[in-house]
A and B are shown apart, each in its own frame.
Chain A
Amino acid sequence: MGEIEELRKEADSLKDQITAARKAVQDTTLQEAVASITVVGRVQMKTRKTLRGHLAKIYAMHWGADAKLCVSASQDGKLIVWDSITTNKVNAIPLKSSWVMTCAYAPSGNLVACGGLDNMCSIYNLKGKDGNVKVMRELAAHTGYLSCCRFLSDSEIITSSGDCTCVLWDIETGTQKTIFAGHQGDCMSLAVSPDFNFFISGACDFTAKLWDIREGQCRQTFGGHESDINAIGFFPNGNAVITGSDDATCKLYDLRADQELITYQDSGIMCGVTSLAPSFSGRLLLAGYDDFNVNIWDALKAERVGVLAGHDNRVSCIGVSADGMACCTGSWDSFLKIWN
């Protein structure tokens, strides 16, 4: 009994140490630091395209690296690859399991992946020899639902799961290379750093964790949210992380200062954040909410500067294309919309 008490005391003392160390570098706040710059003017975007074709709720979408093609996943049991400019469906892939929660496009454009309540991550080859899109690999080992997946390359993918872990997979062999354990609740979302060396995960334990992909280690843990973190993304310079939560707020955490710099909240917003994406420069933060809207925030001043209203149900996913030209939203109303 004595040893456990000792360890608990040491843990508490270390937590106090971390809190003190964070305070020690808090020589100002982001709000004070940007006091001299003006808020971005009102941002108005229009729906330029509506991608119609899914027959049920859309749960996820991901842009391809060419900023033209994107993939979406719906509980109608289909993955659709769209040409966002012509609105043509390039591929319509029927899934074995219709309970899909996430999808991803490989940076090469050769592969897409998806997964959900089947606890697996299925990899599809879009560029097969006979022109048919087939399952290339089924990555099975998670003991909980697949909430998110992101490719590092055609040979490696990272997944997050309701079993509270994230995993780095070798796609070729279908095996787990590294298991990232530490979260005390379902992992809901992940994002890979621009340099591909790190990834961040958001979970139902209300924390976000930064992981070193090659060392297999959690480097930093960020708290402060009062409910599940549903969405997470990197600020484009790779030095900060943005989270979106069921507590109706988004937060910006700086990795080098190891702390929260600002919260994006408004007394008028009382519903959860489902998804988020920064604009190309990071100045705008687009966040999707349960109330069917996307709010656009000035990321530095933490003020709302616009709204994207157009969906007839919850906005479940959002993404900004790699060249920053457009934002795509996916909704439970079964449509995707392209805005700019």
Chain B
Amino acid sequence: MSGSSSIVAMKKVVQQLRFEASLNRVKVSQAAADLQQFCLQHAQQDPLLTGMSSSNNPFRPQKVCSFL
């Protein structure tokens, strides 16, 4: 009968739930608006989103012409 250890464990669970329940929550409308605003504000600095020309792309080798 592991009575006392499961009581200790349950007390921890209850303590944690009390803590999580006490959180101040922001309205979803505010949270969603902030996410949208962040995306739009940073869109132009997101190369995977906007694409880039080969001259701006460090991973795309420039084809160089040289005179022989």
Contact of A279 with B49 in the complex, beta carbons under 8 Å: yes
Contact of A17 with B21 in the complex, beta carbons under 8 Å: yes
Contact of B38 with A257 in the complex, beta carbons under 8 Å: no
Task: A25-B27, A240-B35, A256-B30 given; name 18 further pairs at CB < 8 Å.
Answer: A7-B13, A17-B21, A18-B17, A25-B26, A34-B36, A85-B58, A220-B20, A235-B35, A235-B38, A236-B42, A254-B32, A256-B26, A257-B30, A258-B23, A259-B28, A283-B39, A300-B36, A324-B45
| Interface range for A | 35 or more
Contact of A84 with B59 in the complex, beta carbons under 8 Å: yes
Contact of B28 with A26 in the complex, beta carbons under 8 Å: yes
* Of A37-45, A117-125, A162-170, A196-204, the one with at least 4 CB within 8 A of chain B: A37-45
Query: Taking A25-B27, A237-B38 as contacts, is the C-beta distance between A33 and B10 under 8 angstroms?
Result: no
Interface of B is mostly: helix
A284–B47 Cα distance when bound, in Å, is: 11
* Of A8-16, A55-63, A106-114, A243-251, the one with at least 4 CB within 8 A of chain B: A8-16
Contact of A30 with B14 in the complex, beta carbons under 8 Å: no
Interface residues of B in 43-59 (CB under 8 A from A): 43, 45-49, 52, 57-59
- Residues from chain A with a CB closer than 8 A to the CB of B39 are 281-283, 299-300
A292–B45 Cα distance when bound, in Å, is: 29
> Could you show 29 A-B contacts with beta carbons less than 8 Å apart?
A4-B7, A10-B14, A15-B17, A24-B25, A26-B28, A28-B32, A29-B28, A33-B36, A34-B32, A34-B36, A68-B58, A217-B19, A219-B19, A235-B35, A239-B34, A239-B35, A254-B26, A256-B30, A256-B31, A257-B25, A259-B28, A281-B38, A282-B38, A284-B49, A320-B48, A325-B47, A325-B52, A325-B57, A340-B52
Whole-angstrom distance from the CB of A39 to the nearest CB of chain B? 12
- Residues from chain B with a CB closer than 8 A to the CB of A33 are 28-29, 32-33, 36
Whole-angstrom distance from the CB of B63 to the nearest CB of chain A? 14
- Residues from chain B with a CB closer than 8 A to the CB of A85 are 58-59
Q: Which 9 A-B pairs have the closest CB atoms?
A: A33-B32, A281-B42, A281-B46, A48-B59, A14-B17, A256-B26, A7-B10, A257-B31, A254-B31
